[in-house]
Chains A and B, each alone.
Chain A
Amino acid sequence: MAKIKLKRATPHVDMTPMVDLFSLLLTFFMLTSSFRPQEAKVIDSPSSVSEKASPDKDVISVLISKDDKVFFNMDNGKDTSAHFRDQLITKINDIYKLSLGPDEIKAFAQGSSFGMPLKNVKGWLKEKDAKKKEEAQIGIPIDTLGSQYPELGIWIAYARELNPTAEVAIKGDAEADYKTVKKVMDMMQANNVNKFNLVTNLQKEEATVDDIK
């Protein structure tokens, strides 16, 4: 009887095609990705049919969360050498005596959206613990307290002064109160901003002539 030669099983799986595919995917993602900017709060914006892409440079943005907290953000402008954030915090620091050190100013300049009363800014910038840092984001006061100008108005006024050409974007949560949005818009209008970009998600919808009937 002839002996049956068992084929030696090769435990090697050829991973070449898989590696090929992975490299392709990786290259694709690396080249097409634009990073999601870090935001102070998760905001679920409403949808609209507008197809205008949101401006990504030269924007002053105000974020309004579901629980009507207001956050503020300003970028460094088209030319990052303008250092608008740096200038903004230095100015606010001087005028409102926040007693920030150079390290804190640097931390602010590198950050993104934030939202806390002026008196808490130092504490927030000094905080190292990420969780506590997030908890410190309690929103910028938008109501007039006594004779004091609402703090959001201060941020807007100085941001506008530094970068008058910046566009204004309002990113509100679908569930936010219109009342809050209105207050923010009023403050903007007090600073001569009459054109707003409301950030929305694209949702195609079209009406046809048949809809009239």
Chain B
Amino acid sequence: MAEIIENSGSGKKGGGRRTPKKMGAHIDMTPMVDLMCLLITFFMLTTAFSKPKVMEITMPEKDNTTDPKDAPKVDAKRTYSILLSSDDRVYWYWHGDVPEGQTFPTTINKTDFSKDGLRKILLKKNEKVFTEIFDLKEKVKKGELVLADDSLNAQIKRIKKSDKKAPIILIKADEKTKYKSIVNVVDEMAICNIANYAIVDIAPEEVALIEKAPK
């Protein structure tokens, strides 16, 4: 490209005849290469390749005026509480297990963030919705069903809404919880296609239950 091959004519120069100095047609590209190296390095280091993603959560609206009696009633049989604490500890209990006339259970179950821990529990509780959505997605993946992203999402939403027995998850974290745990739990909700979940305040009684529970 940058080399120009010159025909230097006859090889040997005659005796004392002065010949014009052969012009080096080579352009020294070293500085250019240097500069390019620098620029590339600069761009490579400053580029943010993976655009950050966001996880959307909607918090229940704060309404201090409502009477506890007016609070939305949820079926205890459908409701599960997940309790979080420091060192990635996760506990859960089923509201159906709470003795009659009381608000809190006597013991809570320990689990963890592994595939066989919390996820298995959630999947089992949410089996109907999860399998339906999973089948739908598989069909789309295999090409048996052609759906635009929008209508797929709309259908998933419909499936989530259709199951009137699907679990309702309450996420409660104590003071020592790390932010990571909360994100992990909300993430599990997304993985397991849980339709109804909320991050709510923890009650002092539940903190006491965590204290009592095995580490």
Say whether A and B bind each other: yes
Chain A residues packing against B (C-beta within 8 Å): 12, 14-16, 18-20, 22-23, 25-26, 29-30, 32-37, 45-55, 64, 169, 171-182, 185-186, 189-190, 194-202, 205-209, 211-212
Check: B33 CB closer than 8 A to any chain A CB.
yes
Docked pose: A16 CA to B32 CA in angstroms? 11
Bound Cα distance A199, B179 (Å): 12
Q: Is the CB of A48 within 8 A of B190?
A: yes
Known: A52-B53, A199-B52. A16 touches B44 (CB 8 A): no
B186 at interface by CB-CB < 8 Å: yes
Known: A53-B54, A175-B178, A207-B123. 10 other contacts (CB 8 A): A16-B29, A49-B191, A54-B51, A54-B54, A64-B179, A195-B59, A200-B53, A201-B52, A201-B53, A205-B187
Q: Is the CB of B131 within 8 A of A189?
A: no
Q: B166 on the interface (CB 8 Å rule)?
A: no
Can you list 6 A-B contacts with CB-CB less than 8 angstroms, sorted by A residue number? A19-B32, A47-B183, A186-B62, A195-B59, A198-B57, A199-B53
Q: Which of B21-50 contact A (CB under 8 A)?
A: 26, 29-30, 32-33, 36-37, 39-40, 43-44, 46-48, 50
Residue in B closest to A203 when the chains form the complex, CB atoms: B187
Q: Considering the chains assembled together, what is the distance between the CA atoms of A212 and B134 in angstroms?
A: 12
Q: Is B71 in contact with chain A by the CB < 8 A criterion?
A: no
Q: Is A19 within 8 A of B29, CB to CB?
A: yes
Within 8 Å CB of A54, what residues of B? 51-54
B33 touches A19 (CB 8 A): yes
A56 to chain B, nearest CB (A): 8
- Whether B47 contacts A29 by the Cβ 8 Å rule is yes
Nearest B residue to A185, CB-CB: B59
- Measured CB to CB, the closest approach of chain B to A67, in angstroms, equals 13
In the complex, whether B150 has a CB less than 8 A from a CB of chain A is no
| A residues in contact with B123, CB < 8 Å | 207, 211-212
**Could you tell me which residues of chain B, from 118 to 159, have a CB within 8 Å of some CB in chain A?**
119-120, 123-124, 127, 130-131, 134
Would you call B56 and A195 a contact (CB within 8 A)? yes
Rounded to whole angstroms, the CA-CA distance of A185 and B30 in the bound complex is: 56
B184 interface hit (Cβ, 8 Å) = yes
Cβ of B181 < 8 Å from any Cβ of A? Answer: yes
Q: A29-B40, A185-B59, A207-B123 are in contact. Are A34 and B51 (CB under 8 A)?
A: yes
B residues less than 8 Å from A45 (CB atoms): 52
